[in-house]
């Protein structure tokens, strides 16, 4: 029977971060996940605290940490360290990140013609972060036949002052469309297919020439050009360098509706870092049950095609996500369950889950639902007593955050994953609490 020091359930940012950090410190790590996680849906940046009131991520962390029960109340001080730690791992996988906790939060344009607050973005998106100079234009360059990026609609929307909250914005937003070699007559292209084409150096050279000509045909000069986020998967760094060198305006990628190519790059970089650190990951595993002896988890039993798989383990990191990831399951009768360990879920009553308006500025009470932990990320009962000594909870499963609305999900995932691993593998002796003695 295989055995591990740490089993991580979940392969999103939190789970893979925990796994890399644990494997780096010498632990034998095994990641089990039922499938890909939110990385494949998200824009591929690291959103730490993009709340409207905040000037920088650091300011945002400080504001969120002041909320009762927010994970940043006990994680906030570690975000900088976790971010510094992950950067070289991601860079080694070909994904450089630009921006840090003191980078001003900027409104960056999106592929539905809206804006979102960001400060830490992969290099491919980073050109969107600088303020717009006087008279600077933005070209929106679409790809003919690609149905998930509509330059006319995006440009029309971004030409409105209110989308930029009345602040700094491009002087003009101009749409253009380019036919890429061999794709013009194609239908039902998806982002991943185009990205794979860009990985091919010969095709890429012709495609970038066509893009350069199309952009040059637009009135005006310089400025920036927004492209759909399809600039390569494995060869992204090379594609980006070529695009930056050849296009007559500073290029940046706009993330699209799923599947998210920048998210896949982030996932691949994390997975590669895990393998380098000596960890293992198995995707496609449904957890069947957890074996434990009361206060300690001893084994994880999962089911894949036609067989069950049991891993003995010294510890467990639960990074199964929130409602979207399936880490929390809402029953018709109004109960909210954590299906792996059956942990108690902190949640409002079912009648109060959702506000009347989809876009209620106050959000939906259900967004804050999750698992309550102590400061060491051990799950606790309603009375605050920890339930398992060798279990840690990380990521969107943690109660008290609005991971989408507060744009804090990546920061919480990264920091809690990193902290969970350290807590399980390298905790200074003085920090070890007696079972049940610690209260949040």
Question: Which residues contact other proteins by CB under 8 A?
Answer: 38, 41-43, 47, 107, 110-116, 145, 147-150, 152-157, 159-160, 162-163, 165, 175, 186-188, 255, 257-258, 260, 322-324, 326, 329-334, 350-351, 353-354, 356-359, 361, 366, 404-405, 407, 409
In whole angstroms, the minimum distance from the beta carbon of 360 to other proteins comes to: 10
Q: How many Å from the N-terminal Cα to the C-terminal Cα in the chain?
A: 37
Cβ neighbours of residue 323 closer than 8 Å, sequence gap 6 or more:
329, 330, 366, 369
Instruction: State the Cα–Cα distance between residues 250 and 269, nearest whole angstrom.
Output: 25
In whole angstroms, the minimum distance from the beta carbon of 224 to other proteins comes to: 17
Cβ neighbours of residue 249 closer than 8 Å, sequence gap 6 or more:
137, 139, 215, 221, 222, 223, 224, 225
In whole angstroms, the minimum distance from the beta carbon of 120 to other proteins comes to: 14
In whole angstroms, the minimum distance from the beta carbon of 219 to other proteins comes to: 16
CB-wise, 118 or 243, nearer to other proteins?
A: 118
In whole angstroms, the minimum distance from the beta carbon of 203 to other proteins comes to: 21
CB-wise, 80 or 350, nearer to other proteins?
A: 350
Structural contact between residues 38 and 320, judged by C-beta atoms closer than 8 angstroms: no
Cβ-based neighbour number of residue 179 at 10 Å = 14
CB-wise, 126 or 277, nearer to other proteins?
A: 126
Instruction: State the Cα–Cα distance between residues 165 and 226, nearest whole angstrom.
Output: 20
For 191-283, where are the E strands, in sequence order? Answer: 224-228, 250-254, 280-283
CB-wise, 119 or 366, nearer to other proteins?
A: 366
CB-wise, 170 or 255, nearer to other proteins?
A: 255
In whole angstroms, the minimum distance from the beta carbon of 332 to other proteins comes to: 5
CB-wise, 183 or 391, nearer to other proteins?
A: 183
Structural contact between residues 37 and 12, judged by C-beta atoms closer than 8 angstroms: yes
Backbone φ/ψ region at 10: left (φ over 0), alpha (ψ -120 to 50), beta: left
Instruction: State the Cα–Cα distance between residues 40 and 195, nearest whole angstrom.
Output: 14
In whole angstroms, the minimum distance from the beta carbon of 287 to other proteins comes to: 17
CB-wise, 171 or 241, nearer to other proteins?
A: 171
CB-wise, 157 or 373, nearer to other proteins?
A: 157
Structural contact between residues 231 and 243, judged by C-beta atoms closer than 8 angstroms: yes
Instruction: State the Cα–Cα distance between residues 403 and 370, nearest whole angstrom.
Output: 11
In whole angstroms, the minimum distance from the beta carbon of 364 to other proteins comes to: 9
Residue closest to 303 by CA, chosen among 79, 53, 31, 34: 34
In whole angstroms, the minimum distance from the beta carbon of 438 to other proteins comes to: 31
CB-wise, 314 or 348, nearer to other proteins?
A: 348
CB-wise, 326 or 435, nearer to other proteins?
A: 326
Structural contact between residues 56 and 119, judged by C-beta atoms closer than 8 angstroms: yes
Structural contact between residues 33 and 282, judged by C-beta atoms closer than 8 angstroms: yes
CB-wise, 307 or 332, nearer to other proteins?
A: 332
Number of helices (H), then strands (E), belonging to the chain: the values are 10, 19
In whole angstroms, the minimum distance from the beta carbon of 229 to other proteins comes to: 10
Instruction: State the Cα–Cα distance between residues 295 and 7, nearest whole angstrom.
Output: 16
In whole angstroms, the minimum distance from the beta carbon of 325 to other proteins comes to: 8
Residue closest to 395 by CA, chosen among 16, 2, 141, 140: 16
Structural contact between residues 397 and 337, judged by C-beta atoms closer than 8 angstroms: no
């Amino acid at each position: 029977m295989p055995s591990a020091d740490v089993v991580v359930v979940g392969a999103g940012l939190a789970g893979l971060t925990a796994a890399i950090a644990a494997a780096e410190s010498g632990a034998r790590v095994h990641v089990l996940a039922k499938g890909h996680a939110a990385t494949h849906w998200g824009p591929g940046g690291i959103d730490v605290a993009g709340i409207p009131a905040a000037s920088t991520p650091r300011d945002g962390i400080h504001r969120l940490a002041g909320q009762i029960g927010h994970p940043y109340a006990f994680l906030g001080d570690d975000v900088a360290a976790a971010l510094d730690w992950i950067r070289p791992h991601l860079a080694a996988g070909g994904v450089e990140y630009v921006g840090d906790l003191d980078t001003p939060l900027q409104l960056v344009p999106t592929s539905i013609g809206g804006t979102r607050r960001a400060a830490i973005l992969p290099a491919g998106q980073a050109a969107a972060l600088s303020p717009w100079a006087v008279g600077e234009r933005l070209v929106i360059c679409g790809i003919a036949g690609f149905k998930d990026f509509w330059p006319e609609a995006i440009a029309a929307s971004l030409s409105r002052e209110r989308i930029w909250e009345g602040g700094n914005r491009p002087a003009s937003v101009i749409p253009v469309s380019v036919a890429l070699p061999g794709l013009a007559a194609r239908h039902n292209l998806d982002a991943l297919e185009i990205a794979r084409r860009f990985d091919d150096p010969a095709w890429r050279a012709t495609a970038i020439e066509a893009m350069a000509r199309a952009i040059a045909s637009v009135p005006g000069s310089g400025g920036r050009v927004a492209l759909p986020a399809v600039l390569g998967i494995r060869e992204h760094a090379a594609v980006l360098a070529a695009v930056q060198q050849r296009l007559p305006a500073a290029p940046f990628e706009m993330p699209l509706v799923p599947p998210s190519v920048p998210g896949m790059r982030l996932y691949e970089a994390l997975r590669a870092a895990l393998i380098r650190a000596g960890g293992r990951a198995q995707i496609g595993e449904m957890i069947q049950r957890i074996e434990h002896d009361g206060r300690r988890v001893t084994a994880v039993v999962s089911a894949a095609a036609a067989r069950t798989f049991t891993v003995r383990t010294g510890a467990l990191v639960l990074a199964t996500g929130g409602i979207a990831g399936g880490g929390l399951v809402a029953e018709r009768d109004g109960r909210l369950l954590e299906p792996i360990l059956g942990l108690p879920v902190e949640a409002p009553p079912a009648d109060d889950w959702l506000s009347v308006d989809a876009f209620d500025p106050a959000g939906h009470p259900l967004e804050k639902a999750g698992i309550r932990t102590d400061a060491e990320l051990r799950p606790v009962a309603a009375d605050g007593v920890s339930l398992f000594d060798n279990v840690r909870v990380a990521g969107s499963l943690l109660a008290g955050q609005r991971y989408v609305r507060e744009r804090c999900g990546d920061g919480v995932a990264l920091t809690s994953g990193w902290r969970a691993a350290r807590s399980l593998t390298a905790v200074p002796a003085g920090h070890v609490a007696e079972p049940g003695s610690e209260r949040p």
